Amino acid sequence: MHYNGCMKTAVLPQVRVSPELRGELEAVLREGETLSGFVEASVRGAVEYRRVQDAFLVRAQAAAHAYQRTGQLRPVEQVLAQLQSRLDARRKQLKPRGRS
C-alpha cells in the first residue's frame, strides 16, 4: 500500500535499543531535531537506498541476460566515456553560481 494525501499516517513499530545506542543517537541530534524526526529521516533514507539497490540489480540482470543472448559487450572505453559525461554534467549542474 502506498501513501497518498488522503490516507491517515501510520506508526512504525517500536524498536528496542541499548541505552548506549540511544545516548549516542541523542548526542548527534541537531538543534531543533527530534528523535522521531531523526528516525523517520533514517527510515526514508534506508527505503530510498533499497530502491536504488533494487533498480541497480534489475539493470545488472538485464545486462547479463542481454550478454547471454547476444554474446556482445559494450567496450569499456564507451562505458567509461558515458559515465564521465554523466559525472561532468552533474558536476556542472551542482556547481555554485558565480564560482569558477
C-alpha cell at 90: 552533474
83 is a domain residue: yes
Q: What is the pLDDT of residue 96?
A: 81
d(CA 32, CA 23): 17
Q: What is the pLDDT of residue 8?
A: 85
40 is a domain residue: yes
Range of the domain at 33: 19-94
86 is a domain residue: yes
Predicted confidence pLDDT, tens digits, the chain (100 residues): 555 666 788 999 999 999 999 999 999 999 999 999 999 999 999 999 999 999 999 999 999 999 999 999 989 999 999 999 999 999 999 988 765 5
26 is a domain residue: yes
C-alpha cell at 32: 531543533
28 is a domain residue: yes
Where does residue 25 rank: exposed (0-12), middle (13-18), buried (19+ CB within 10 A)? middle
- Whole-prediction pTM: 0.66
How many separate domains does the chain show? 1
73 is a domain residue: yes
Q: What is the pLDDT of residue 4?
A: 61
Q: What is the pLDDT of residue 97?
A: 72
